[in-house]
Amino acid sequence: MFELTRQYQFHSARRLTELSENHPCGTLHGHTFSVIIKVSGNELTDEGWIIDFYDIDAFYEEKVHLFLDHKYLNDIIENPTTEHIAMWIWNQLKNDLKGLSSVTVSEGSSYGCTYFGDKNA
Q: How many CB atoms lie within 10 A of CB 14?
A: 25
Residues sharing a CB contact under 8 Å with residue 77, sequence separation 6 or more, in sequence order: 84, 85, 88
- Closest by CA to 15, choosing from 5, 30, 2, is 30
Task: State pLDDT tens for residues 26-67.
Answer: 999 999 999 999 999 999 999 999 999 999 999 999 999 999
The CATH number, out of the four listed (3.40.50.300, 3.30.479.10, 3.40.50.280, 3.40.640.10), of the domain defined by the range 2-115 = 3.30.479.10
Contact 55, 1 (CB under 8 A): no
Q: Note the pTM of the prediction, 2 decimals.
A: 0.94
**pLDDT of res. 18:** 94
The pLDDT of 16-22, averaged and rounded, is: 89
Q: Using pLDDT thresholds of 50, 70 and 90, give the confidence band for residue 84.
A: very high
Active site (catalytic) residues: 25, 70, 107
Task: State pLDDT tens for residues 87-98.
Answer: 999 999 999 999
Calpha distance 103→114 (Å, rounded): 6
Domain spans of the chain?
Answer: 2-115
